[in-house]
Structure 1
Amino acid sequence: MLENIVNYLNALLWGKLLVYGLVGAGLYFTLRLAFIQITHFKHAIKILTISRQGCDSGLSSFQVFCTSMAARVGAGNMAGVAVAISAGGPGAVFWMWVIAVLGMATSMVESTLAQVYKVRDQDGQFRGGPAYYMEKGLGQRWMGILFSIFLIIAFGLVFNAVQANTITGAMHAVFDINPLYMGIIIVLASAFVIVGGLRKVAKVSEIVVPVMALAYILIATVVVLMNIEQLPAVFALIFKSAFGWQEAAAGGVAYTIAQAMQSGIARGLFSNEAGMGSAANVAASASPNPNHPASQGFVQMMGVFFDTIVICTATAAIILLSGDLSESHDGIKMTIDALSTHVGSWGGIFVAIAILLFCFTSIIANYSYAETNVMYLSGNSKKALPIFRICVLGMVMFGSIAKISLVWNLADLSMGLMATVNIIALILLSGLAVRVINDYRQQIKSDDEITFDPHKFPELREQLNDDVWIPGGQTVEERSNK
């Protein structure tokens, strides 16, 4: 009964509302920002290279980038890509690319807004995200509460069950480890990190994420080089499947395209999170360099690029070059079998270890997203955190032994509800976001230091806290009296 209800709601959200909403929002932001993800791609890379600098009371931009990548790079990149190809055919990969390119603009907007409306908690740590810009920017606390509830359910609970499920599936398939025992190990390791809060999560992510991402990209590159002569045929297959050209004679073009779009967009969003508002929660925690909200927007924009265009494509190449496109929705087994086809039995061992690291870091990063929203709901009080942490660890244990189809479907539903609320807020606040980003772009053209002056934006006078954005070392009040 529950599964039928979840499937119905997913069909409504992903079959109609969000397919158009996400693509439409991405196109809208891409046009309003004049294709910023293309025209300013080199600048975004430059900002990422200096992102370790400029950290004072907050986390560095690089720490925040790694934390958001820890959440992004996980089950969606390995198991999710396989599920998308299985359900929607090779064409789903094309639609993953499309939603990633458009999503880069969406991520730019949501992360910039998160920086604009960030606050300090009782420990002096920056907090923020969609709930904060919904309340402060739109004056709609009820909307922020709704978003926070959806995010806590999605990231704190359901997504962590998905990640744990993927780990235990991989460990059972490769090493025959009992999911119950593996689940206990994951719970203990997760507890060790999350009790340290956002800073502990950021420190662990900063160490693990670059290493695991580079290792995975390296093995995918080796696979591509081993099968380089097949690469043109694989690209042809992706494009033909994306537009249903090979089904034209059978009259199934519309259905094939719809299946590829739905699977590719759903799995692409699950992986890169653009438009969901999730990565914006940790984006607000950074002390960016340069000290301007749009600076962190560029960093988070590159997160979407690396997640989907680079890492998801690596998984797709491993699967499609193996030639095994059997209709199995057991995503991680499909990825393991594909890599083993290329490099032998040790390929399965590599995937299992990669999954362990990818998904574990996703669990702790997902928790950090949810923690910020628990703090929002409790008025920045930490009293509710111990109980919430117990709930998170309980869902990790549940996910370790749960039925995978139900877990994935619950993830799609909670993600869809989050994205719906966030997209509405982004559209309503897009005017301010575009002006803030354009203010940054204008400053790039000069040799002066790039800074953010909230007094250029009259609507922010009553919306921002006095201790966050202080141009020239002065308080907002001091500047207002001049």
Structure 2
Amino acid sequence: MQLVEAFFALIGDLTWGWALIPFLVVIGIFFTVVTGFVQLRFFLRMFRVLSSKNQSGDPNAISAREALLLSVGGRVGGGNIAGVAVAITLGGPGAVFWMWAVALVGMATSLIECSLAQLYKRSTGDGTYRGGPARTIIHGLGADYRWLAVLYALCLMASFAFGFNAFQGNTVAGAAEESLGIGRLWTGIGLTVLTGLIVFGGIHRIAKAADVIVPIMAVGYIGMALVIILLNITEVPGVIYSIVLNAFGLEEVVGGGMGAALAQGLRRGLFSNEAGLGSAPNVAATAEVRHPISQGITQSFSVFIDTMIICTCTALIILLGDVYAPGAEGVDGVVLTQQSLASHLGGWTSYFLTGAVLLFAFSSIIYNYYLGENALSSMTSSTMALHVLRVAVMGVVFLGATAPNATSVFFFSDPLMGVLAVVNLLALMMLFPTAKRILDDFKSQLREGVARPVLNPDNFADLDIDRSAWTGKAPD
């Protein structure tokens, strides 16, 4: 067992050491510059997805908004509450600035990877679609690279569907036990039953659940943060000023100065928004849209919501309070956020935060499950295999909730996520010329006065795209 752990530790060092994070940042900067700062150019367009006018008339189709909320539900989680607190504790307020910076370039990366997933998606015949990095590799790079797609799919299943879901189950049970006094066994049973009801309903039920859960948790948490900001509005400029000074080492509040702020901000930001890891494209491909770039813009908005809005809310809750002490040890993670909330509005907020953690974690569970299901579907169409996966995920959630020490079994999750990130980034670089072609097509239609561009597959006859998914006609 020690040999196995050492092997995965080596993989983690080779990926999540000081190799993968700079690679993610550099590629994000490259995409940003070469596309002409596409995430800023189309920023106002991102909000259109929230309008009912942009929803498909097909009741079986997954709308762009549902795909957005499902991806937000997956991205938003412990990283937005505990992760931000850890970043500030270890890197100082300046870590927040670098989280913003990595989100800005990550928006471009997400736009590219999700647009490609849309381009190469496949129709299932029932009004829904499947896609993601595995199918992008197979249909974009060709059959010779199928082994790379299989490697990606296996890493995605192992890390997200199993490993991270065990941790999410543990998070929910721990929060319920500490704040509400509910035993882990009962939480595990309830969580497992809810998970089963949703995952056995397929992508429709998963999307509908996210359409309800995500707005509730996001609006509730953001609303709480806005109350705190308004109560401390005169202190906000000083906090922003401190964040910027600390980010560049002009005001050192923790050991390591700018280096610590940069390292923690980049690491926590990338873990939170997942841009470049290839997870969100699996969900992005399910939406019915007129043009691949439309969903790319939507998923870029998801990164903005995750980091620029929700992570910033957590940062201001902490930095506007009197609990955080620069350089102090012993209070970090979710406890720091919890105590900061209580310092602003009273002890009742611990129950509110517990509720937020429960919703965040549950939305992540159903998101992680779908990533595993989609990965499995890229390797086999067996219905039996799908049912086995669903039961296995339910078992993992129950195990993580009832036996907290069991999560140590899933030590391979982070290293394998590093592998799938490397595979995804390599595929993105190889397929970037194709992404640039469809981006130029989108821009060209806008210049010609087309308000809502439509992809014409005849203009891309050399590409292996599904003609039943892209007919050249706008959805009703």
Q: TM-score, normalised by structure 2?
A: 0.91
Q: 1:306 to 1:44 in 2, by over 3 A?
A: same
Query: In the alignment, is the contact (CA less than 8 A) between 2:166 and 2:407 conserved in 1?
Result: no
Q: How many residues are paired up?
A: 464
- Displacement of 1:121: 2.4
1:58 to 54, 57, 61: 61
Matches within 5 A, 1:294-313: 294-313=293-312
Please give the secondary structure, in 1, of the residue aligned with 2:384. Answer: coil
In 1, the alpha carbon distance for the partners of 2:396 and 2:239 equals: 39
In 1, the alpha carbon distance for the partners of 2:220 and 2:369 equals: 25
Query: In the alignment, is the contact (CA less than 8 A) between 2:84 and 2:315 conserved in 1?
Result: yes
Matches within 5 A, 1:343-358: 343-358=345-360
Q: 1:355 to 1:16 in 2, by over 3 A?
A: same
Partner of 2:280: 279
Partner of 1:261: 262
Q: 1:7 to 1:238 in 2, by over 3 A?
A: farther
In 1, the alpha carbon distance for the partners of 2:329 and 2:408 equals: 18
Q: Deviations over 1:361-381 (max 9, x none)?
A: 111121112111111111x33
- Displacement of 1:452: 0.5
Does residue 160 of structure 1 match 2:165?
yes
In 1, the alpha carbon distance for the partners of 2:378 and 2:115 equals: 19
Does residue 415 of structure 1 match 2:417?
yes
Query: In the alignment, is the contact (CA less than 8 A) between 2:48 and 2:54 conserved in 1?
Result: no
Please give the secondary structure, in 1, of the residue aligned with 2:18. Answer: helix
User: Taking every aligned residue pair, what percent have the same amino acid on both sides?
Assistant: 40
Q: 1:241 to 1:80 in 2, by over 3 A?
A: same
Does residue 78 of structure 1 match 2:81?
yes
- Displacement of 1:11: 4.2
Match for 1:194: what amino acid? V
Query: In the alignment, is the contact (CA less than 8 A) between 1:55 and 1:287 conserved in 2?
Result: no
Query: In the alignment, is the contact (CA less than 8 A) between 1:194 and 1:364 conserved in 2?
Result: yes
Moved more, 150-159 or 24-33: 150-159
In 2, the alpha carbon distance for the partners of 1:372 and 1:44 equals: 26
In 1, the alpha carbon distance for the partners of 2:310 and 2:418 equals: 23
Does residue 455 of structure 1 match 2:458?
yes
Partner of 1:467: 468
- Displacement of 1:76: 1.6
In 2, the alpha carbon distance for the partners of 1:438 and 1:432 equals: 10
In 2, the alpha carbon distance for the partners of 1:302 and 1:129 equals: 18
- Displacement of 1:5: 6.1
- Displacement of 1:390: 2.0
Moved more, 79-88 or 69-78: 79-88
- Displacement of 1:228: 2.1
Partner of 2:321: 322
- Displacement of 1:260: 2.8
Q: 1:259 to 1:120 in 2, by over 3 A?
A: same
Q: Deviations over 1:319-357 (max 9, x none)?
A: 222233343476222221111111111110100011111
Partner of 1:216: 221
2:47 to 45, 48, 59: 45
Partner of 2:92: 89
- Displacement of 1:278: 0.8
Structure 2: unaligned runs, 5 residues or longer = none
Q: Deviations over 1:16-37 (max 9, x none)?
A: 1112111011001101110011
Q: Deviations over 1:282-328 (max 9, x none)?
A: 1111111xx11111111111111011100111111112222333434
In 2, the alpha carbon distance for the partners of 1:93 and 1:162 equals: 25
Q: 1:68 to 1:384 in 2, by over 3 A?
A: same
Please give the secondary structure, in 2, of the residue aligned with 1:427. Answer: helix
Q: 1:391 to 1:267 in 2, by over 3 A?
A: farther
Partner of 2:391: 390
Partner of 1:476: none
- Displacement of 1:127: 0.3
Matches within 5 A, 1:118-157: 118-121=121-124, 123-139=126-142, 140-157=145-162
Moved more, 96-105 or 178-187: 178-187
- Displacement of 1:51: 6.5
Does residue 34 of structure 1 match 2:39?
no
- Displacement of 1:120: 1.7
Does residue 202 of structure 1 match 2:207?
yes
Q: 1:44 to 1:209 in 2, by over 3 A?
A: same
In 2, the alpha carbon distance for the partners of 1:395 and 1:236 equals: 45
In 2, the alpha carbon distance for the partners of 1:191 and 1:52 equals: 31
- Displacement of 1:49: 2.7
- Displacement of 1:92: 2.0
- Displacement of 1:50: 4.8
Q: 1:190 to 1:242 in 2, by over 3 A?
A: same
Structure 1: unaligned runs, 5 residues or longer = 474-482
In 1, the alpha carbon distance for the partners of 2:270 and 2:405 equals: 22
Partner of 2:188: 183
Q: 1:359 to 1:281 in 2, by over 3 A?
A: same
Moved more, 449-458 or 21-30: 449-458
In 1, the alpha carbon distance for the partners of 2:246 and 2:406 equals: 26
In 2, the alpha carbon distance for the partners of 1:452 and 1:32 equals: 22
1:237 to 235, 239, 242: 242
Match for 2:301: what amino acid? M
Q: Deviations over 1:425-464 (max 9, x none)?
A: 111101110110121111112234521012323531xx12
